[in-house]
Amino acid sequence: MGNRIHNAAYQSKVMSAEDAAALINDGDRLGVSGFTGSGYPKAVPIALAARAKAEHEAGRSFRVGLNTGASTAPELDGELALADAVDFRTPYQSDPETRKRINAGSINYADIHLSHIAPQVRNGFHGKMDVAIIELTAIKADGSLVPSSSIGNNQAWLDAADRVIFEVNSWQSEDLEGMHDVFGGLRKAPLDFAIPVFHASDRIGSKYLTVDPAKVIAVVENDTPDRNSPFKPLDDVSKSIASHLLDFLDLEEKAGRLPDPMPAMQSGVGNIANAVLAGLLHGQFENLTSYTEVIQDGMVDLIDSGKLSVASATAFSLSPEYAKKMNDNAKFYRDKIILRNQEISNNPEVIRRLGMIAMNGMIEADIYGNVNSTHIMGSRMQNGIGGSGDFARNAALTVFVTPSTAKDGAISAIVPMVSHVDHTEHDTDLIISEYGVADLRGKSPRQRVPAIIKIAHPDFRPMLEEYFAVAQKVANGQHTPHDLSQALSWHQRMLATGTMKV
């Protein structure tokens, strides 16, 4: 492990992950670094999980509360869940073991907008934060803390926690130094200043995190890579959804409804988002900027091509191949990529000001445009709302993308009524499936219905038409007609028979 701790005071606090984990108590609330598989602590959580197992075997209780930036990785969420060491989790996760326990009722999960969680902690809504565990790239001789591959809520947790453990990870490139922009001016609401981001490229903070050194109880060294899951190869459905969006943007531009250059884009994680980025690479748009949460492979390609001048985010979410490329070339990318606090990357004030285009995945939408991003059949948590709500509510053009069906065609992504609402019809401008674009702008709920049914899978279109016809006959009003006796019958049928089809 290369020595990345250049400050004598912090050097004197170096210890093993096991010794650091021993400083965490049953019932502690932890604030950990980590966002979409990057920049999370990798050694202390594993040691903590082992400790929890040993305590449980000795008949003692040992469970902690876990605040992160967003999803982490098997070494953190996975290990702690497997050890039954988590009793509370917030704000976004995608770990299978954690998901299993959330849905079994043994982990309490608070699914909070990613821009809201740090202010909520600062305002005291979540009680006391006991320990922050934050990954760093290096500690400089003067004590400056160089962040790693995500910023997330790191500064907020460093400010809030009573005790702090650092993991200094020498796998992270030292050339990341200078890429970060940590805004330290965030205080309890109300704020008496504007967040001064007027362009995606604006830097408003410091290159370094800050902490009261008296709070630091341990420094642990490691050299483990970020999780970095590879992307699936682009399938035909993702490619056709991406091409519908790009065609739509072309038409918008021709109609004079798209500013030049195109406003900053946010794209959610996953295959479809990557397909859109790949499409932009070969498309006509130049001088692109992105103001988003995560930097994906497609954005790196866009930077390389010169089409994307700046990518502002809070974390990387790269495949192993691209993570290596980033590590090898961080000096080049650090002028073009800005990693900010997630309160700033997802800040509603800034998103509104930039007049952004936001594009996120969804689980299902209803015939009026309400969107469910989180729940399977009303009750089971998939991942969480993440930053989708921060962007969907505040962007100038809010797009949801989805394959028309799930589970080999058994489930329709377009349903009479969503089984859970994350984004209301008021926020949804476009829904895009492989069958096209439903443009909901300027339409009343009833006018939206044919536009949305048109992008449903053909197997489900007649059923949706029939539902709407009956709803208009039996509803108590014609603004948003529903047949309440049948509105959730598709979900009930799926649970009873394994398909939404009749």
Residues annotated in a binding site for CoA: 363, 383, 387, 407
Using the contact rule CB under 6 A, the part of the chain among 20-28, 149-157, 319-327, 380-388 near ligand 0RQ is: 380-388
Q: Are 129 and 29 in contact (CB under 8 A)?
A: yes
383 counts as binding ligand 0RQ under rule CB under 6 A = yes
Cα separation values, 119 from 28, 294, 353, 477, Å: 20, 20, 20, 40
- DSSP per residue over 341-397, as a string? BHHHHT-HHHHHHHT-EEEEE-SEEETT--EESSEETTTEE-S--TTHHHHHHH-SE
Binding residues: 363, 383, 387, 407
Q: Nearest approach, Cβ of 361 to ligand 0RQ (angstroms)?
A: 3
In our burial notation (b when 16+ CB lie closer than 10 A, e otherwise), range 405-440 reads bbeeeebbbbbbbbbbebbebebbbbbbbbbbbbbb
Instruction: Return phi, psi of residue 339, to 5°.
Output: -105, 120
Q: Which residue has the tokens 């100038």?
A: 396
Cβ-based nearer residue to ligand 0RQ, 49 or 242: 242
- Tokens standing for residue 238: 């993702």
**Given the residues 97, 293, 364, 425, the one annotated as active site:** 293
What minimum distance in Å lies between the beta carbon of 269 and ligand 0RQ? 5
CA distances for 282 relative to 197, 224, 286, angstroms: 29, 35, 10
CB closer to ligand 0RQ, 80 vs 362: 362
CB 183 within 8 A of CB 204: yes
With binding defined as CB under 6 A, does residue 152 bind ligand 0RQ? no
> In which element (H, E) is residue 97 found?
helix 96-104
Q: Spell out the alpha helix ranges (H) of 124-191.
A: 154-160
Tell me if 316 contacts ligand 0RQ by CB under 6 A.
no
30-89 positions binding ligand 0RQ, by CB under 6 A: 36, 70
Query: Does 488 sit near ligand 0RQ (CB under 6 A)?
Result: no
**Residue from 20, 164, 311, 411 binding ligand 0RQ (CB under 6 A):** 411
By CB under 6 A, name the one of 373, 394, 428, 433 that touches ligand 0RQ. Answer: 373
Q: State yes or no: cis peptide before 91, omega within 30 of 0.
A: yes
Nearer to ligand 0RQ, 290 or 383 (CB): 383
Give the separation between CA 388 and CA 154, rounded to whole angstroms: 20
Binding marks (x or -) toward ligand 0RQ, 331..370, rule CB under 6 A?
Answer: -----------------------------xxxxx------
User: Is-catalytic flag, 293?
Assistant: yes
Beta bridge partners of 165: 133, 218
Query: Residue 250 class from Cβ within 10 Å (0-12 exposed, 13-18 middle, 19+ buried)?
Result: middle
The residue nearest ligand 0RQ at its CB is 386
Instruction: Please work out the total of residues on this chain that contact ligand 0RQ, with binding judged by CB under 6 A.
Output: 26
**How near is the Cβ of 43 to ligand 0RQ at its closest, in Å?**
24
* Interface stretch with ligand 0RQ, choices 274-282, 386-394, 435-443, 449-457 (CB under 6 A): 386-394
Shortest CB 47 distance to ligand 0RQ, Å: 26
278-307 binders of ligand 0RQ (CB under 6 A): 293
Closest C-alpha among 27, 75, 80, 78 to residue 49: 80
**Residue 268 touching ligand 0RQ (CB under 6 A):** yes
Chain residues that interact with ligand 0RQ, rule: CB under 6 A: 36, 70, 92, 114, 268-270, 293, 360-364, 373, 376, 382-383, 385-388, 403, 406-407, 411, 413
Active site positions, annotated: 293
